[in-house]
């Protein structure tokens, strides 16, 4: 089990940094950070708040940590999953979820089979079948409708590519290339088998993603299915989901705990999901701990401006949890607009990472990036790296000289897009001022805090007047194989969406080396190669790391079993949460 740095908040600041093993209960264990006072009990209403809306509730379209965690713990059992534990979980802690175990690979790691548990049911009582999982995975290929989610199926399944680099299979609606998909994904009773185009030792971790979830064909309305979840988990939606405000989950009476891995305790009778409030509003409510705030957890971190207030309150301090997170904030360059590499290098050279971290909230929120986009929570892949010798504070004078060498007129105009919040508004103003010193004129393009920010920066139309933008990324499981391919491969860049490759970077040789590294059987050697690829892209100024995240959360005093789970989006794990 890999160790993790656990930060314990006490008094006026971070009082201790203790190197501890990732512990807090085993698979589905009940222990955690919540208030003591007896064993957790079923009943009550848990309130779940978040500053942002969920961009998707369709499992095949979901790729933001909070929504991934929410769906997996309440509405959908994936083939495999990670237990409810704190800290950085190792790959050896993967467990079977809808599947009876973590899968059976062939000797060459190019074929994987998973057998479903008995007793899996949809909310209407019908059995969850192998064909439901097979159909669910097929939806990701319909990139004209099912956008936003991961692309592991498209990249890894043994399905040919067309001349333009996209898959010959276009999904279950058009059925173009259906025979190729039917060969790659097959069912035999309760056993689903995936045939891959190269060896993948960690494919069983990929199927813990919602993109491989079951989806019933008769419930599929394509893009219109997005906020109409049909559950096979312990909860189901009561009424309808309001995209801007949330909804209420109630118990799914067809869900059988015996068909679960003992993970989802489903303690609350209801989960009241409230979305779209400002981070400061949520933080203030949790600090005050009055009324239904006592029964509240939040996917939103404590507003940096309010952490000291929480630390100075005896009541709030004991409900404050701070831990390192697997996310890296980065700057992406829109390569369709910023074609001059020297100008991009000047931006990176001028960037003040220390100021970015400090304005983001300091040690309880962010530290300056000292390496690549690959985060320090992946120790086998992380390496310190400063490609432009600019240091943490940047070098605006050097950057200004680079602009002169590039032969461009100054001040050089750029548009920077970001997801707005009280904190990010200050951070972005700081970026604007710092780059001004280097000879840039920065226009800010703010996306409201509660809006679908990631959906926008995937859209080439939105990016038409954007030069640089804010992004954040964390590994899907403990491997840099879920960082480099996800952010940089060109196969996902299409006319209607860039996927997670917001820069629009396309390099056939780079993509080839990504595919080749999937075949590297020595995990440490593979991680080293991912590091090299990450650094190569940064040197080309496709992307530039700004800071490494630390998350600070508060929860209500009636909450028990608070577990900060890095493997579940670095969010509170709803599998074991309860209220008095």
Task: Based on the fold, state whether residues 266 and 334 are members of the same structural domain.
Answer: no
Comparing 40 with 220, the larger pLDDT belongs to 220
Instruction: Tell me the pLDDT band of 38, cut-offs 50, 70 and 90.
Output: low
Give the separation between CA 344 and CA 354, rounded to whole angstroms: 19
d(CA 249, CA 15): 38
* pLDDT over 60 (residue 37): no
Whether 34 has a pLDDT exceeding 80, the answer reads no
Q: What is the pLDDT of residue 87?
A: 60
pLDDT band for position 449 (cuts 50, 70, 90): confident
pLDDT at residue 17 greater than cutoff 80: no
| Burial of 255 (C-beta count, 10 Å sphere; 0-12/13-18/19+) | buried
Domain check: are 195 and 77 in the same one?
Answer: yes
State percent of the chain over pLDDT 70.
Answer: 92
Q: Is the dihedral of CA 487, 490, 495, 496 positive or negative?
A: negative
Asked if residue 245 and residue 338 are part of one domain, the reply reads: no
Q: What is the helix, strand, coil percentage profile of the chain, to 5?
A: 30, 25, 45
Spatial separation of the C-alpha atoms in residues 349 and 343, rounded to whole Å? 10
Say whether pLDDT at 22 is over 90.
Answer: no
Give the 3-state secondary structure of residue 149. coil
569 has pLDDT over 80: no
43 domain-assigned: no
Parallel/antiparallel/unpaired status of strands 578-579 and 559-560: antiparallel
Tokens (6 digits) for 324: 């390192």
Residue 133 has pLDDT above 70, yes or no: yes
Radius of gyration of the chain (CA): 23
Contact in structure between 283 and 553 (CB atoms under 8 Å): no
Same domain, yes or no: 329 and 249: no
Q: Confidence class of residue 436 from pLDDT cuts 50, 70 and 90?
A: very high
Residue 314 located in a structural domain:
no
The pLDDT of residue 336: 96
Residues 221 and 156 in one domain: yes
Q: Strand 270-275 and strand 246-251: pairing? A: antiparallel
What DSSP line would sit under 179-218, residue for residue?
HHHHHHEEEETTEEEEEBSS--TTHHHHTTSGGGS---GG
Has residue 499 been placed in a domain? yes
Do 144 and 241 lie in a common domain? yes
Three-state secondary-structure class, residue 66? helix
Statement to judge: residues 336 and 475 lie in one domain: yes
Write the pLDDT tens digit of every residue in 161-178.
888 878 999 999 999 999
Q: What is the CATH number of the domain that holds 244?
A: 3.40.190.10
DSSP 214-228: ---GGG--GGGGTT-
Confidence of residue 10 (pLDDT cuts 50, 70, 90): very low
Residue 443 sits in a domain whose CATH number is 3.10.105.10
Claim to verify: residue 130 and residue 216 sit in the same structural domain: yes
Whether pLDDT at 576 is above 50: yes
pTM of the full structure: 0.83
- Give me the pLDDT at residue 90, please: 61
How confident is the model at residue 214, as a pLDDT?
98
Degrees to nearest 5, angle at CA 404 with 400 and 407: 140
Count each helix (H run) and each strand (E run) in the chain, helices first.
16, 23
HSE-CB for 288 with a 13 A CA cutoff: 10
Q: What are the pLDDT digits (tens) for 513-528?
A: 998 998 888 889 999 9
Residue 13 in any domain: the answer is: no
Residues 385 and 466 in one domain: yes
pLDDT given at position 481:
92
Residue 125 CB-half CA count within 13 A: 0
- Distance of alpha carbon 415 from alpha carbon 12, whole angstroms: 38
Domain count across the chain: 2
Provide the mean pLDDT of the chain: 90
Q: Give the pLDDT confidence score for residue 52 in this predicted structure.
A: 86
For 342-368, the DSSP string reads HHHHHHHHH--HHHHHHHHTGGGTEEE
**How many Å apart are CA 558 and CA 46, to the nearest integer?**
9
Determine, yes or no, domain membership for 572. no
Residue 312, in any domain of the structure: no
What pLDDT is recorded for position 520? 86
Residue 26 confidence (pLDDT) above 60: no
Residues 375 and 515 in one domain: yes
The pLDDT tens digits for 67-100 are 999 999 999 999 999 998 876 556 668 999 999 9
Assess if residue 435 is contained within a domain. Answer: yes
Give 329-386 pLDDT, tens digit per residue: 999 999 999 999 999 999 999 999 999 999 999 999 999 999 999 999 999 999 999 9
Q: What is the predicted pLDDT for the residue at 151?
A: 81
Say whether both 197 and 104 belong to one domain. Answer: yes
Tell me what pLDDT residue 557 has: 96
Peptide bond into 411 cis (omega under 30): yes
Position 8 scores a pLDDT of 34
Residues 329 and 461 in one domain: yes
Rounded to whole angstroms, the Cα distance separating 468 from 437 reads 17
Reported as a pLDDT band with limits 50, 70 and 90, residue 30 is very low
What gap in Å lies between CA 482 and CA 374, rounded to an integer? Answer: 10
Q: Are 17 and 554 in contact (CB under 8 A)?
A: no
User: What is the domain extent for residue 490?
Assistant: 325-549
285 found inside a domain: no
Confidence of residue 64 (pLDDT cuts 50, 70, 90): confident
């Amino acid at each position: 089990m890999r160790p993790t740095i656990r930060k314990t908040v006490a008094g006026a600041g971070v009082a201790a940094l203790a190197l501890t093993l990732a512990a807090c209960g085993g698979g589905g264990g009940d222990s955690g950070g919540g208030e003591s006072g007896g064993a957790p009990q079923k009943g009550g209403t848990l309130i779940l708040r978040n500053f942002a809306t969920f961009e998707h509730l369709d499992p095949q379209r979901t790729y933001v940590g909070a929504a991934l965690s929410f769906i997996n713990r309440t509405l959908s059992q994936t083939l495999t999953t990670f237990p409810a534990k704190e800290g950085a979980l190792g790959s050896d802690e993967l467990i079977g979820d809808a599947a009876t175990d973590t899968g059976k690979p062939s000797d060459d790691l190019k074929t994987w089979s998973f057998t479903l548990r008995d007793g899996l049911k949809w909310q209407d009582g019908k059995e969850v079948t192998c064909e439901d999982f097979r159909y669910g995975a097929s939806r990701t290929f319909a990139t004209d409708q099912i956008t936003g989610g991961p692309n592991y199926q498209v990249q890894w399944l043994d399905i040919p590519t067309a001349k333009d680099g996209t898959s010959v299979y276009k999904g279950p609606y058009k059925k173009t290339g259906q025979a190729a998909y039917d060969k790659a994904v097959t069912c035999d009773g309760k056993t689903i088998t995936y045939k891959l185009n190269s060896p993948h030792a960690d494919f069983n971790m990929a199927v813990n993603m919602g993109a491989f979830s079951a989806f019933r064909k008769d419930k599929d309305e394509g893009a219109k299915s997005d906020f109409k979840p049909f559950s096979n988990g312990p909860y189901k939606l009561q009424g309808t989901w309001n995209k801007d405000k949330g909804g209420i989950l109630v118990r799914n009476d067809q869900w059988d705990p015996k068909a679960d891995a003992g993970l989802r305790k489903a303690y609350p009778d209801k989960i009241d999901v409230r979305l779209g409030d400002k981070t400061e509003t949520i933080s203030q409510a949790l600090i005050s701990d009055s009324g239904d705030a006592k029964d509240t957890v939040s996917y939103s971190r404590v507003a940096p401006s309010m952490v000291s207030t929480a630390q100075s309150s005896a009541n709030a301090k004991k409900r404050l949890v701070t831990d390192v997170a697997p996310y890296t904030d980065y700057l992406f360059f829109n390569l369709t607009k910023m074609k001059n590499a020297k100008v991009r290098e000047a931006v990176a050279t001028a960037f003040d990472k220390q100021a970015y971290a400090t304005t983001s909230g300091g040690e309880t929120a962010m530290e300056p990036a000292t390496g690549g986009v690959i985060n320090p929570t992946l120790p086998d892949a992380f390496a310190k790296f400063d490609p432009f010798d600019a240091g943490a504070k940047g070098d605006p004078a050097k950057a200004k000289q680079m602009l002169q060498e590039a032969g461009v007129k100054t001040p050089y105009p750029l548009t920077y897009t970001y997801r707005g919040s009280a904190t990010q508004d200050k951070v972005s103003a700081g970026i604007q001022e710092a780059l001004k010193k280097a000879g840039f004129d920065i226009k800010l393009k703010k996306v409201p805090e509660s809006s679908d920010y990631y959906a926008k920066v995937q859209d080439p139309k939105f990016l038409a007047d954007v030069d640089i933008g804010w992004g954040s990324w964390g590994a899907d499981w403990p491997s840099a194989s879920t960082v480099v391919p996800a952010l940089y491969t060109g196969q996902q860049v299409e006319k209607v969406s860039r996927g997670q490759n917001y820069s629009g970077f396309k390099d056939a040789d780079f993509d080839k080396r990504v595919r080749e590294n999937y075949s590297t059987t020595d995990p440490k050697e593979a991680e080293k190669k991912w590091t090299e690829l990450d650094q190569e892209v940064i040197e080309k100024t496709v992307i530039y790391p700004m800071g490494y995240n630390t998350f600070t959360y508060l929860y209500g005093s009636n909450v028990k079993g608070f577990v900060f789970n890095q493997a579940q989006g670095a969010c509170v794990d709803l599998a074991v949460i309860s209220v008095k």
